[in-house]
Every structure is written in C-alpha cells, then in structure tokens.
Structure 1
Amino acid sequence: MPGHKAGLQKPKLGKTLIGVVGLATAAIVTPFVSAWESGGKPQLTAYRDIVGVWTICDGETLGVKPGMVETVEGCKARDEAAIVRHAEPVLACTPALRDHPHQLSAAISLAYNIGTKGYCGSTVARRFNAGDWRGACDAFLMWNRAGGQVVRGLDRRRRAERDLCLKDLGR
C-alpha cells in the first residue's frame, strides 16, 4: 500500500520503558539501539533489511508492510514499544540483569536484533544465569552472522554490545 500512513503504536498502559527497566537502563538502551538500528536517524519509510524483512523506524518489524510511512513521533512510540516487548522477556529469562543497566542494555540490544527466543536460548543468557558475567559478555561475539555469513556490521555491533556489557563489571 504505497503511501500507507502507519498509526502510532504506544506501549500498553503501564508498560513504559522506564517502568519496565528503570531510568538508568532506559537512558542507555534507547540511544544504543537507535544508533545500531538506524544510525540514530529513524527510517520513516518501510524498507527491507539485510535478510529481506520489512522494517521501519529503528529496526521495528512488527506489522510493517511495503509502502508504510511513519512520523518521527510515531517512530518514537513504535521504538519504545518494541524495546519494551524485548526487555520483558530478557528480564524474565535473565532476572539477575535487573539491577545491572549496562549488561541489561546490551542484552536487550542483542534480543532486539536476534529475537527474544534466540536470546533466551543463547549461551549469553545461560552464562548470565550461571553467574558467569564476563563469559556472557564474551558470548555476544557468537552472534555476528546473517544468512549464515559473518556480516561486518553485525560483528561491529556485537563488539559494541560486548564492550557495553563489560562496563562496570570490574576487572
């Protein structure tokens, strides 16, 4: 539907990002995801990503169709709702991250990119749950492929997520 104007998708009542992850994590994860998904400038017109999935704003794929167009404010609402949708399962499968904003932000970014099912079944999540925080951070580097091939951009993103994950862990 060329020219289709997407509607705002606000988080469900009571499901704000700050309410789900806290102010510190929200302040870290929102610009981090935006920088990796769209270079910090939301894509207002639907496009196909590297593996052919219709995408809009800062990497949102839910309900996106060819020809969709969004506003900057609409993208902000969509992006917050998408991060909330990914943060809740991340917290459910790795609850120890709740009080660790850098590690939680890195985990949400990974889940945003690979899906919550992929994240919750990953070595990253298993290592966090086992208390192997540094090992969990290192395991981010395993997720650098798309379509079976190492992708330079994904490799750079995983290294940035790992660096964020290692922040404030102590040496």
Structure 2
Amino acid sequence: MPGNAKPGRKTAAAGGAVAGAISALALMFSLTPDWEGRRLDPYQDIVGVWTVCDGQTRVEMRRYTPAECDAMSERAFRDHLAYVAQVSPGIERWPYQQAAHADLAYNIGKAAYRKSSVSALFNRGEYREACRAILKYRFAGGREVRGLILRRTGDAARIGDYEMCLGDAVEADLEARGAL
C-alpha cells in the first residue's frame, strides 16, 4: 500500500470503520516512513536500539529488500492501528487521528502509548487536547531531539503527527459537543 494516496476526511464516516482503517493505513504510509527513514541494512538508532527498514526493531537484523520492508511495515502499521483502536475505542471513525496516534505508538511503543496523556485525553473526548499532547513526545535518551520535534510538528515538506491529528480532531470535538 505504499504511495502517496491521501484519502478524503470523510472516508471513515461515509464508508464505515473498514474504509476508515484503510484510510488510516494509507495515511500511515504517507507519514511514518518519511519520518523513520528507510534503511535496508540494520543500524543503531539515536538511543542505540538496532533498527532496520522503516523503524523495525523486533525483527531479525539483516539486510532486507524494499519489498520485504514494505510488507513488514504494512504488518506493523496494521498492528499499531488495531492497537490504538483497542486502547482508544472509537478512534477508527477518525482516520487522521488514528494514523497520528498509531504513528506515535509506533515511535514510542505500545505500552508508552497506553499510558500516555494522548490516549487518556482522547478517551475523555478531548480530541484537540489529545493532539496537542502529542507535542510532548520530543525526547529520546533524556534529551530533546530535533528529529522528534519535526516528526511531531512537521516541516515545510512533511506533515507531522500533530498536524495529521488535527485533520479531523476539530470535527470530532464539534460532533461530541453536539454542534454538528
């Protein structure tokens, strides 16, 4: 599913949770690899964790082909999207939020996401606040990292988790307040 597919905001509402999951997966493919960077050979990340492909850490550390990386990333992205949907029920209705939350979980780990203020705020229906909380996750190894700041906020060429999350958080907030 790699590519530049950018589904419309209303996909989940119009097509149900399945279409929303497909949209969130396409969104993850347009977001996560850009920030992770692809390396076919294993390397140690900023905190010394062995990594390969698009940020894979729990696989055999060997050289992979682009097709193997694509397949591995798709499995990992689907897994993180499903996990986020389990931890933050209802998020699958909002593919932009789901993709941003799943990218965060992919980056910081599932357990950290489960305990995060991001998931807690989403689960309380504070959707915009949950998006803002993503901005706190800019540290690695106890120090602020420019690459993580950019991953959260975006740059001139790439959208960040926070911007992606806001893609439908305002609408979700308005709907929750009965304004839509």
Do they fold alike, i.e. is TM over 0.5? yes
Query: Retained in 2: the 8 A contact 1:20–1:87?
Result: no
Could you say if the C-alpha distance between residues 60 and 119 of structure 1 is closer, same or farther in structure 2, counting changes exceeding 3 Å?
A: same
CA distance in 1 between counterparts of 2:137 and 2:152 reads 7
CA distance in 1 between counterparts of 2:70 and 2:60 reads 15
Secondary structure of the 2:169 match is coil
Could you say if the C-alpha distance between residues 170 and 90 of structure 1 is closer, same or farther in structure 2, counting changes exceeding 3 Å?
A: closer
* Structure 1, gaps ≥5 residues long: 1-17
Query: Retained in 1: the 8 A contact 2:24–2:98?
Result: yes
Could you say if the C-alpha distance between residues 56 and 20 of structure 1 is closer, same or farther in structure 2, counting changes exceeding 3 Å?
A: farther
* Structure 2, gaps ≥5 residues long: 1-16, 154-159, 172-180
Given residue 116 of structure 1, which amino acid in structure 2 is its aligned partner? K
Say yes or no: does 1:101 pair with 2:100. Answer: no
Say yes or no: does 1:138 pair with 2:132. Answer: yes
Secondary structure of the 2:46 match is coil
1:128 to 103, 122, 142: 122
Superposed CA RMSD in Å reads 1.8
Could you say if the C-alpha distance between residues 145 and 168 of structure 1 is closer, same or farther in structure 2, counting changes exceeding 3 Å?
A: same
Aligned to 1:60: 56
CA distance in 2 between counterparts of 1:116 and 1:169 reads 22
Identity of aligned residues (%): 38
Aligned to 1:23: 22
Given residue 101 of structure 1, which amino acid in structure 2 is its aligned partner? P
Structure-2-length-normalised TM-score: 0.78
Q: 1:64 Cα deviation (Å)?
A: 3.5
Say yes or no: does 1:147 pair with 2:147. Answer: no
CA distance in 1 between counterparts of 2:60 and 2:19 reads 24
Length, aligned pairs only: 149
CA distance in 2 between counterparts of 1:100 and 1:88 reads 13
Q: Which has the higher helix share?
A: 2
Q: 1:72 Cα deviation (Å)?
A: 0.7
Secondary structure of the 1:82 match is helix
Query: Retained in 2: the 8 A contact 1:127–1:135?
Result: yes
Q: 1:169 Cα deviation (Å)?
A: 3.1
**Cα displacement string for residues 126-167 of structure 1 (whole angstroms, at most 9, x for unaligned residues):** 000000001000000111000110001101111211111111
Say yes or no: does 1:87 pair with 2:86. Answer: no
Secondary structure of the 2:82 match is helix
Structure-1-length-normalised TM-score: 0.82
Query: Retained in 2: the 8 A contact 1:123–1:139?
Result: yes
Q: 1:85 Cα deviation (Å)?
A: 2.4
Query: Retained in 2: the 8 A contact 1:25–1:105?
Result: yes
Say yes or no: does 1:163 pair with 2:159. Answer: no
Could you say if the C-alpha distance between residues 21 and 113 of structure 1 is closer, same or farther in structure 2, counting changes exceeding 3 Å?
A: farther
Aligned to 2:13: none
CA distance in 1 between counterparts of 2:166 and 2:141 reads 28
Q: 1:88 Cα deviation (Å)?
A: 1.9
Deviates more, 1:80-89 or 1:94-103: 80-89
Aligned to 1:11: none
